[in-house]
A and B are shown apart, each in its own frame.
Chain A
């Protein structure tokens, strides 16, 4: 998966343009929410970031299965990148969520089902990256990381269902039940698109770097 330089530049331009548009919509276009006030604008960053945390775990899941089946190092590179970027977005989702929770709930953190299950995802992704380092040899590490990557995906539907399964204070399903005003929904969709393109760009870059790392390792062993 070696993407050409042109594609990368194109993705960069698209990502930058969408980001500027999304920020314009978040700060200028969208009306301020009635109850929560200006703080609610964090919503347009938190939802895309949390979505990418889960989507990245899904990519990790697919790449892990593909690696176990085919044993191609390119799939391992995708799995590694997805775990790493997924961890980044999970961290962002938790931190951004905290910034929103403090003014609204009065606490940075509460042991609420959706928050807890997201923290669990963060820990599993961390374990997925860590298990590579502790394996007896690198190829073993890749296989173990793939196994943990598959197990990590079990948590994603749990995060999705956590608001209905355990009934915490975190709202769930507002977006899908049509509880958003049209301008808010538009802003959210633009923001989602902007962050998703950014994610694709990050993945492409990280996978390229990882593939290069693998090539260098191979060359080192040849010597």
Chain B
């Protein structure tokens, strides 16, 4: 079991960093050089942060259950709000699915850095001997795991509640995973940004929603085709567009993340 060890090692790293802060800046270089850089070490350090997020979520059960309940509630409310017959419902279902995922994603993204900020953990992360943009990778990975768990549970619920054929599941899963990468890539950046503003929960949707419109649009269109009985080749062009946005969002956020969290 390598993760708990890693976690421990990371905590020691953080402690040392704090000690260095007390001793003064001149010795900071020393600690950095003793760590050196090699791939395995980076990987274990990076995974430690993701593991920390997963572990704290597994113990506190703060985010996933509440977001999950929220997702189901959104599905139920939309069902009543539209109240359409089965035929019209087929046209609306992709929209409901993606509205649910976007709202759920936003809720879970809002939490990621709020927790860090409240416990003063963000400062510890920043002084941690790890590059800033590597923190981005770790947090993105953590967010991706959370949202995937939420989607993995709500997607079957969705399929059952709206009487969708089971054969659409594989294609929906692929679309969902690809679109989730896009959400999370840009969402983690804006989540780190909004946590340092006065009205945290208000700022994230205002920044996040317009930017992810192309991803939502493509995902909705692809889902529509799937529900209309489309094949893999018919949704390929939409998947390409989503993939392009995933790459753009990941690269841009990776490059500018360090400016967002500096103290």
Partner pick for A127 among B196, B206, B217, B252, CB 8 A cutoff: B206
| Cβ contact within 8 Å between A144 and B252 | no
The closest CB in chain B to the CB of A113 belongs to B217
State which of A23-31, A44-52, A134-142, A172-180 sits at the interface with chain B: A134-142
Bound CA span A158–B218, Å: 13
CB 8 Å contact bits of B17-45 with A (1 = contact, 0 = none): 00000000000000000000000000000
CB 8 Å contact bits of B195-225 with A (1 = contact, 0 = none): 0111100110011011101100100000000
The closest CB in chain A to the CB of B198 belongs to A134
Contact A131:B203 (CB < 8 A) given known A68-B259, A136-B196, A158-B214: yes
Contacts of B196 in A (CB 8 A): 135-136, 140, 144
Task: Assign chain B's interface to a size class.
Answer: 20 to 34
For the residues of B in contact with A, the DSSP-based class is helix
In the complex, whether A150 has a CB less than 8 A from a CB of chain B is yes
| Cβ contact within 8 Å between B259 and A120 | no
In the complex, whether A190 has a CB less than 8 A from a CB of chain B is no
| Cβ contact within 8 Å between B213 and A134 | no
Task: Assign chain A's interface to a size class.
Answer: 20 to 34
In the complex, whether B12 has a CB less than 8 A from a CB of chain A is no
Contacts of B206 in A (CB 8 A): 123, 127, 130
State how many angstroms separate the Cβ of A157 from the closest Cβ of chain B: 9
Provide a sorted-by-A list of 16 A–B residue pairs whose CB atoms are within 8 angstroms: A123-B210, A124-B210, A124-B211, A127-B206, A130-B206, A134-B197, A134-B203, A135-B198, A136-B198, A143-B262, A144-B197, A148-B193, A150-B252, A151-B186, A154-B252, A166-B217
> Which residues of A approach B to under 8 Å, CB–CB?
68, 116-117, 120, 123-124, 127, 130-131, 134-136, 140, 143-144, 146-148, 150-151, 154-155, 158, 165-166
